[in-house]
Amino acid sequence: MSRLGVPAALPPVRVHDLTVSYHGHPAVHHLSGEFAAGALTAIVGPNGAGKSSLLSVLAGTRADFQGRLQRPPAQQVAYLPQTASIDRTVPVTVHEVVAMGLWARLGCFRALDEAGWVSVTHALAAVGLSGFEQRLIGEMSAGQAQRVLFARVLVQDAALILLDEPFNAVDARTTADLLAVLQRWRREARTVIAVLHDLDQVRDHFDQVLLLAREAVAWGPTAQVLNAEHLFKARQMAESWDDDAPVCGGRP
C-alpha cells in the first residue's frame, strides 16, 4: 500500500466495444482492451483520433457512450484535462485550485483541516510552486498553471490518474520535473493514462501504449506498438476518415 492506501494490485481499467460519438458520428469506434494496472500508459494518435474523447469517458465526464467501461469509483480517479479547458479568468488563488482536489474527501463547503493544508503545501512544493499559494490562477503562466493542476492531482491521491496532453506549453525543465512525478506515481502502483504527442517522450517514459485512430491500431508494450508499420497505418487511417460517417448499425 502507498502512503494513503493505493492498493498494490488495482484491477485494470477495461473497455469493451466502446463507441463514443458526437451527433451520430463516431470519434472512438468499437474499442476493446485493458489498461495495465500500476503502469504508465500513453494514448497516442493523429489529431482527431478520439484520444481526448476516450479520456473523458474514462474520467467519467462523458456518460453518453456505448459499450462497457470498468474503472475505479469516481473518488479514486483524478483527471487533468487540457489546460485550454480550464477557465483562468475565474478569480481563485493557486491554493484554492489545489485544494479543490480534496473536495471528494472533505466536501466543497468544509474548511480545510490541518491534514488538508499540509497536503496542499506538500503538493505545491513537489511541483516547485512553494510561495505561490495566494497568487491568482489567472496571473500564472501557462506552464505554471499546468504545475498547479498537477498539484491538484497530487492531493487527490487517486488510484487512477488521467492526463490530457499534460506537457503542452510546458518548458523542458518543467516537463522533466512533472515526468519525475509520473515515475513516483508508478512506484506507488498508481495507474496513469496520458494523452501525448511526443513519441520520444513516450518511448523513454511509458510502459504501454494505445495507438488510436478512432479504432485501436495497436495496444501493448511501448516498443511493440510504436513501430513504423503501426504508425504508418494510423496515418493512413487518419487520411481516410469521413467525419460525417454514421456510427455503424445506425446507433446514436
Ligand X SMILES: Nc1ncnc2c1ncn2[C@@H]1O[C@H](COP(=O)(O)OP(=O)(O)OP(=O)(O)O)[C@@H](O)[C@H]1O
Q: Does an H or E element contain 193, and which?
A: strand 191-195
Q: How far is the CB of 27 from ligand X (least distance, A)?
A: 3
Q: How far is the CB of 18 from ligand X (least distance, A)?
A: 13
Q: Is 52 in the site for ligand X (CB under 6 A)?
A: yes
> What does the block give as the cell for 164?
490530457
Q: Which of 18, 35, 40, 53 binds ligand X (CB under 6 A)?
A: 53
Say whether 64 sits in a helix, a strand or coil: coil
Of the residues 45, 81, 101, 116, which one makes contact with ligand X according to CB under 6 A: 45
The CB-of-205 to ligand X minimum distance in angstroms stands at: 19
* Among the listed residues 58, 86, 55, the one whose alpha carbon sits nearest the alpha carbon of residue 152: 86
Contact partners, residue 79, CB within 8 Å, separation at least 6: 55, 59, 60, 61, 162, 164
- Measured from the CB atom, is 20 or 192 closer to ligand X? 20
As measured in angstroms, the least distance from the Cβ of 108 to ligand X is: 26
**Candidate segments 46-54, 89-97, 124-132, 150-158, binder of ligand X by CB under 6 A:** 46-54
Q: Of the candidates 51, 71, 95, 147, which one interacts with ligand X according to CB under 6 A?
A: 51
Distance, CA of 182 to chain centre: 11
Residue span 191-230 as binding mask against ligand X, x where in contact by CB under 6 A, dash where not: ----------------------------------------
Residue window 24-43: x/- pattern of binding to ligand X, with contact defined by CB under 6 A: ---x----------------
Alpha helices in the chain (DSSP H): 51-59, 94-99, 103-106, 114-126, 142-156, 172-187, 199-205, 222-225, 228-239
49 near ligand X, judged by CB under 6 A: yes
What letter represents residue 192's amino acid? V
